[in-house]
Amino acid sequence: MTDSIRRFIFASALALLVAALALVACSSDSESTDMATLAAERAAAAAERAAQAAERAADASQDARSAAQQAGSEAEADDGAQSDDGGAAATAAAERAADAAERAADAAERAAQSSAAGEPADEDPGEITIYSGRGESLVGALLERFEAETGIRVKVRYADTAQLAVAILEEGDRSPADVYYAQDAGALGALAGAGALAALPGSVLDRVDAKFRDAEGRWVGTSGRARVLVISPERVPNPPSSIFDLTEPEWRGRVGWAPTNGSFQAFVTAMRQIHGDDVTEQWLRDMIANEVREYPKNSPQVQAVGDGELDIGLVNHYYLYRFLDEDPDFAAVNHFTDPGLAGALINAAGVGMLSASDNRGNALRFIEYLLGEHAQEYFRDQTSEYPLAAGIAARSELTPLEQLDPPSLALTSLADLEGTLELLQEVGALP
């Protein structure tokens, strides 16, 4: 049994025990402890869910170990590597279950202490519904932390940033969403322009440089990312200085892009704003004629460069660091291009509060949380993005944000996503 398995089983059992004690303590004084009883019951339920997650993770870990042993005796080396991946995934699941169990134990212990002291627990903090264009693999753990630290129950709908923006517009005043958490500023700008986002207080907006928030205060950036070329330093010793060089014959079939990705679409929108529709259309057609290779998103491009299948990928800077964190010798580097132009775009993930929401207190609390020290350090340490709130430095390997030379382009100008999608379809980059 691994240390992770032992840890989450112990934490789950502890959570259940403490929750039970809290319920017993609550029963001694019904008048003063009604809310504490409710809190203890919630803690017990959370502990039970954590225990169930622990059991599932333990089963997954055992299955992964069995698969790995079988692979070691019967399969080729590639199959063995896949089994190792399964074991690593199960271990990661076990660790997440352990963390959940420990949080449940803490919650149960606080409820027990409140009951024993005859103090009423805090009133129910309620819930929040978040439409997140940021993937669960990127921000799921952060949203779980918010729920654990605030007690606010989080409901999340994960989907593509553009799809969620369209859904909010279609739902109108009937939308269940309180907050829209977007991958890029273009979609936020589109919703703001349609009147779907409410103005945020100055105390929230002032935490972030004016370049990374809406001029009318309807959304605010939470983390930043730079457009780069991820390249093989061995196969591309003299990388191009501009994205426009990628249409040259020497790069035929050696470059990748992800036209369905929201960040790529925002980049194309920036190109349209800076260079005009005609120049942008010609660049897209020339890239296709030069046999650019299509990928579903950014990370497969980075993997392909490291594996030697691709020489250059058009991506955001932070994807590379996920690979380097796992393998410091990963064979790829980021290359910055086009100072002051579209190739040097710095976009922002950001958040806005829906005008139709009647839950603005919790919506603002979530937005403030994303701009707080804890979340900003998460973006730095876990996703390798640029923190945007004042006072939080980027990770040391990154070129400081103030030393980069992005285009002098207001991020609100990236709102014309519809025009970009039409252009990508017209040239054949999208179906």
Beta bridge partners of 128: 154
pLDDT in tens, 338-375: 988 889 999 999 999 999 999 999 999 999 999 999 99
Is the model's pLDDT at 297 over the cut of 60?
yes
pLDDT tens per residue, range 15-32:
444 444 443 444 333 333
DSSP codes, 82-103: HHHHHHHHHHHHHHHHHHHHHH
Mean per-residue pLDDT for 162-191? 93
Q: Is the dihedral of CA 376, 380, 383, 385 positive or negative?
A: positive
Nearest-5° Cα angle at 264, 262 to 268: 115
Q: SS3 of 188, please?
A: helix
pLDDT for res 87: 44
Secondary structure tally for the chain: helices H, strands E:
14, 11
What residues form DSSP beta bridges with 316? 227
pLDDT band with cut points at 50, 70 and 90 for residue 93: very low
Residue 38 has pLDDT above 70, yes or no: no
Question: Which CATH superfamily does the domain covering 225-345+420-427 fall into?
Answer: Periplasmic binding protein-like II (3.40.190.10)
Q: CA 99: distance to chain centroid?
A: 19
**For 112-133, what is each residue's pLDDT tens digit?**
444 444 444 558 899 999 999 9
pLDDT of residue 102: 54
∠ CA 246-343-234, nearest 5°, is: 50
Phi, psi torsion values for 354, nearest 5 degrees: -70, 140
Contact 121, 25 (CB under 8 A): no
In one-letter notation, the amino acid at residue 53 is: A
How high does pLDDT run on average in the chain?
80
Task: List pLDDT tens digits, range 249-277.
Answer: 999 999 999 999 888 998 999 999 999 99
- Given a contact cutoff of 8 angstroms between Cβ atoms, the answer to whether 112 and 18 are in contact is yes
pLDDT for 186: 85
Locate tokens 């710095």: which residue? 346
Statement: residue 83 has pLDDT above 70: no
Residue that the structure tokens 């020497």 belong to: 250
Question: Averaged over 104-110, what is the pLDDT?
Answer: 50
CATH 3.40.190.10 in the chain, residues? 127-224+346-401, 225-345+420-427
pTM score over 0.85: no
Q: Is the pLDDT of residue 94 over 80?
A: no
Nearest CA to 401 among 351, 349, 347?
347
307-320: pLDDT as tens digits: 999 999 999 999 99
The H or E element spanning position 107 is helix 77-116
> Could you say which of 3.20.20.80, 3.40.50.2300, 3.40.190.10, 1.10.1660.10 is the CATH number of the domain covering 127-224+346-401?
3.40.190.10
